[in-house]
């Protein structure tokens, strides 16, 4: 199971992740990023990877937690 990891100390609210995967990320008016889904559905894996790569400050990561949760 793929999970999104967000380092809030790094995130600067650029919203590039939202552009890549609006199903997973939303930046509010104050630049605070909300994870809409922490666990990535199978059909959104590629989008999630693109979002992680798009972040200019490397605030995002993906962790494969196996099938434990
Ligand atoms: S692209 Fe990176 S810095 Fe921008 S909102 Fe997403 S996680 Fe935050």
Question: Cα separation of 52 and 16, whole Å?
Answer: 9
Closest residue by Cα to atom 3, ligand 1, is 11
- pLDDT, tens digit (0-9, with 9 covering 90-100), for 15-43: 999 999 999 999 999 999 999 999 999 99
pTM assigned to the model: 0.91
Compute the distance from residue 66 Cα to the ligand 1 centre, in Å. Answer: 25
3-state secondary structure the chain: CEEEEECCCCCCCCCHHHHHCCCCEEECCCCCEEECCCECCHHHHHHHHHHHHHCCCCCEEEEECCCCC
- The pLDDT, as a whole number, for residue 67 is 63
Compute the distance from residue 67 Cα to the ligand 1 centre, in Å. Answer: 27
Question: Cα separation of 4 and 12, whole Å?
Answer: 17
68 — pLDDT class (breaks 50, 70, 90): low
């Amino acid at each position: 199971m793929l999970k999104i990891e967000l380092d809030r100390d790094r995130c600067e609210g650029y919203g590039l992740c939202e552009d890549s995967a609006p199903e997973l990320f939303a930046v509010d008016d104050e630049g605070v990023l909300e994870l809409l889904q922490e666990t990535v559905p199978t059909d959104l894996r590629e989008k999630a990877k693109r979002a992680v790569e798009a972040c200019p400050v490397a605030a995002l990561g993906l962790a494969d937690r196996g099938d434990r949760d």
